[in-house]
Structure 1
Amino acid sequence: MKGKSRLFTIGLVTAWYSSNIGVLLLNKYLLSNYGFKYPIFLTMCHMTACSLLSYIAIAWMKMVPMQTIRSRVQFLKITALSLVFCVSVVFGNISLRYLPVSFNQAIGATTPFFTAVFAYFMTLKREAWLTYLTLVPVVTGVIIASGGEPSFHLFGFLICVAATAARALKSVLQGILLSSEGEKLNSMNLLLYMAPIAVVFLLPATLIMEENVVGITLALARDDVKIIWYLLFNSALAYFVNLTNFLVTKHTSALTLQVLGNAKGAVAVVVSILIFRNPVSVTGMMGYSLTVFGVILYSEAKKRSK
């Protein structure tokens, strides 16, 4: 039984890595290489798929018990989280138009820095000085990687930093807004409610900022039907990222998840370089390595402070 359990866990982790890296690489291919320059519409497709597949997984397949929204206040809190979540995903997708995946992942690795900053100012929660000290290599590594990045793009860099900050803000807000026992939702139920709200936010943004994107997509499909399959597969993958993340969290420890998460970023960098052949410098790789090392130290310091 232990052998079967270990194989199941390995399968889950492989599925988590594959879906995570897959959606990242496919986003990059569509937005940059393929020339589908509509990141807001792409994000709306992701959120639509997450809405439908979340409902199927929870209401029909009973993968987890359905949790209900208990009050108008709780609904407003989830709406606020959904808005921040939208910003993080849209900005992340926009940054992929301008930056290689390897550099995008290097910036994304600074999430613990922004999380610590937001937690300090919003909850006045102070970590041990050693924990804050470990954030120095996290930030220094990205500064070094930026200086050595052959494909550096200032707008793409700023948008990617904003996406990373929004991702950190969402996690801190989630801890604050849904902290009471009556309001806590597991990640699958939270996605079930956040995704449709995200679609409501993204629909007018798409219509205003990416005019006639549906018509353009249909015109592209007449010339190359693969674009429809790319969008469908990409949107389904976006849901499986969340599903596999939930399952890996459920079947492993928090520490294991942190270690796997750090390794996932490094794997994504290597795979993206092999696929897209984007130029990398020794300085850039040294900077990214320093950032990952800092994140590992941060995780260790957080664990010891508990």
Structure 2
Amino acid sequence: MKTMIPWTTIWIVFSWYGSNIGVLLLNKYLLTYCGFKYPIFLTMCHMLASSLLSYVAIAWLKVVPMQTIGSKKQFIKIFGLSSVFCFSVVLGNVSLRYLPVSFNQAIGATTPFFTAVFAYVMMKKTESWVTYLTLLPVVAGVIIASGAEPSFHLFGFLMCVSATAARASKSVLQAILLSSEEEKLNSMNLLMYMAPIAVVILLPATLLMERNVIAITMALARKDTIVVYYLLFNSSLAYFVNLTNFLVTKHTSALTLQVLGNAKGAVAVVVSIIIFKNPVSLMGMLGYSLTVVGVLLYNESKKGNK
């Protein structure tokens, strides 16, 4: 008999897709089309919402049991992770000012390449030659897509590559820093502690680099109050990306998560092209497809090595 997929799991997966793609498209819309050109402040709003909603979800709604920070050493490790996390999100938001979402997603798909590089540099962890071979189409696909991208912007490209590298380094650092059983935190508790640290880091950066952001945001809101609603909804979605990612991981297998993640990137590309109508080339789409195929092969090779 065929195993039926529970409706709860289906709803969680759709929510995961909706929150991921929604926050990406709203970031792009706010930073490019609303006159709101403040990626650091936007990231701080995301982190502030994640701080509040994480606490509500864990302390009040009991989504997961609350875990505590056991030592000063563990706090310093979480502070380091939060700094890298901040860096990656800010750079990702900066890149959206200059690149279409479709190209942003193509570059983001190269995360396995950077993860393999950082795992070797930081942990001396090696993979099989087959695994390294699968990374060639991952990189080659982005090179092809970059050369054929009608809206290519060098600064945006460098910011997006840096954001992707920072995301990969954060996952490797997390494996190194929080490796002992007493220090391990589930993703929801880790976010609850990382988000307020990120706010503390981002607040002075916002005041120094985006000095008039509050006044300009208020001026934009006076012209059209919907900007405020966009910001609030966008910040809440940024938290639900993490919540639904945790729930998908809990309700499905690691393999299912990988497959769904790859499909999510492709869906985001299609939806963004339909909404923003950014020009794409056949060669660019072929390059992105090659990267996705490379990622699938990489995941298969990793699964075979376990």
TM-score (norm 1): 0.99
Q: How far apart, in 1, do the equivalents of 2:27 and 2:219 lie?
A: 20
Matched, 1:168 2:200: no
The CA distance in 1 between the partners of 2:203 and 2:219, in whole Å, is 20
Equivalent-residue separation in structure 2 for 1:33 and 1:202 (angstroms)? 23
Q: Partner letter of residue 127 of structure 2?
A: E
**Residues 287 and 5 of structure 1: is their aligned pair in 2 closer, same or farther, counting only changes over 3 Å?**
closer
Matched, 1:114 2:100: no
- 2:303 corresponds to: 303
The superposition leaves residues 96-131 of structure 1 with CA deviations (integer Å, 9 ceiling, x where unpaired) of 000000000000000000000000010001001100
In 1: Cα distance, 2:6 partner to 2:68 partner:
34
State the 1:34 CA deviation.
1.5
Matched residue, 1:105: 105
Q: Where does the alignment leave 5 or more consecutive residues of structure 1 unmatched? A: none
Which residue matches 2:178? 178
Q: Which residue in the other structure is 1:62 paired with? A: 62
Residues 127-168 of structure 1: per-residue CA shift (max 9 Å, x gap): 011000000000000000000000000000000000000000
For the residues of structure 2 that align with 1:16 and 1:236, how far apart are their CA atoms? 13
Alignment partners' CA distance in 2, 1:305 and 1:4 = 30
- The alpha-carbon deviation at position 3 of structure 1 amounts to 8.0
Number of aligned pairs? Answer: 305
Q: Structure 1 residue 35: deviation in Å?
A: 2.0
Cα displacement (A) at 1:298: 0.2
Q: Deviations over 1:15-36 (max 9, x none)?
A: 0000000000000000011221
Residues 1:211 and 2:211 aligned together: yes
Report SS of the residue matched to 1:134. Answer: helix
Amino acid at match of 1:266: A
- Measure, in 2, the Cα distance between the counterparts of 1:4 and 1:109: 31
1:212 Cα offset (Å)? 1.7
Hey, what does 1:236 align to over in structure 2? 236
Q: Which residue of 2 aligns with 1:249?
A: 249
Mapping for residues 32-71 of structure 1, pairs under 5 Å: 32-71=32-71
Instruction: Confirm or deny that 1:123 pairs with 2:123.
Output: yes
Equivalent position amino acid for 2:122 in 1: M
Kindly provide the amino acid, as one letter, of the partner of residue 299 in structure 1.
N
Counterpart-to-counterpart distance in 2, 1:179 and 1:249: 19
Amino acid across the alignment from 2:257: L
- Measured after TM superposition, the shift of residue 288 of structure 1 is 0.2
Post-superposition, which runs of at least 4 consecutive aligned residues in structure 1 deviate over 2 A? 2-5
Instruction: Return 5+ residue gaps in structure 2 as ranges.
Output: none
Distance 1:279 1:181, change over 3 A: same
Give distance in 2, aligned partners of 1:223 and 1:35.
Answer: 11
Deviations 1:201-248 (A, max 9, x none): 000000000012111111111111111100000000000000000000
Structure 2: which amino acid aligns with 1:10?
I
Which runs of structure 2 are paired with 1:5-84 in the superposition (5 Å)? 6-84=6-84
Sequence identity percentage? 78
Q: SS state of the match for residue 127, structure 1?
A: coil
